[in-house]
Structure 1
């Protein structure tokens, strides 16, 4: 399991920055702001792959976040040529803990790096 760097400043052409968003895609703070300013996130798009980013709605409740995580895992499996850098989605502005969010990403494919704070909560 590869660990996502704490700070991501640049991406290779095949890399995708995975960040937490709100459903309306208002990327004003945290990793969402970085995604918008640096990596091609689209203002008004709070879900899915845009530019070199993948948005996960973390602000609409834990059940929605769980569904978004499953959708992301399926997407990453369907795109093995891409390398996804998963940030600690949901653990900033959304206010969840790694213990709440990390298990939602159990079974993540090998082409996804994970934040170190999620590692203890991922089933091997």
Structure 2
């Protein structure tokens, strides 16, 4: 798990920007519902980690798309789906970036609470981990 550290609370936290993935790591990125991965982290997921053009939700190669552009309810549903998927796949580590906070319309304080029940195999960006305490 080259991309993570643990914080004082024992939570898995991203250590810098994700440039590459170690075996068993999955890049979790913000997408639009149509899966047009033209910019930001979505483009990185498409170029480097197997995101599929036209697929705006779920596992794709070594990446996992969360629709952050349709509306907050869709984003919340996708995050809940990710957390359920992560619970079923403890052999994987999910590297969550600041979803929806770059090109998307949200701030970390809007998104972090959705990850309050994230399991031990979900690494959060430092801003989310700090907000969750």
Superposed displacement of residue 72, structure 1 = 0.6
Measure, in 2, the Cα distance between the counterparts of 1:39 and 1:98.
Answer: 24
Q: RMSD in angstroms over aligned alpha carbons?
A: 1.0
| Of 41, 49, 60, the match for 2:59 | 49
Measure, in 1, the Cα distance between the counterparts of 2:15 and 2:42.
Answer: 16
Measure, in 2, the Cα distance between the counterparts of 1:3 and 1:24.
Answer: 29
TM-score (norm 2): 0.89
Determine helix, strand or coil for the equivalent of 1:103. Answer: helix
Measure, in 2, the Cα distance between the counterparts of 1:100 and 1:6.
Answer: 21
Residue 104 (1) aligns with residue 78 (2) = no
Unpaired runs of 5+ in structure 2?
Answer: 1-10
Superposed displacement of residue 13, structure 1 = 2.1
Aligned residues: 123
Unpaired runs of 5+ in structure 1?
Answer: none
Please identify runs of 4+ aligned residues in structure 1 that moved more than 3 A: none
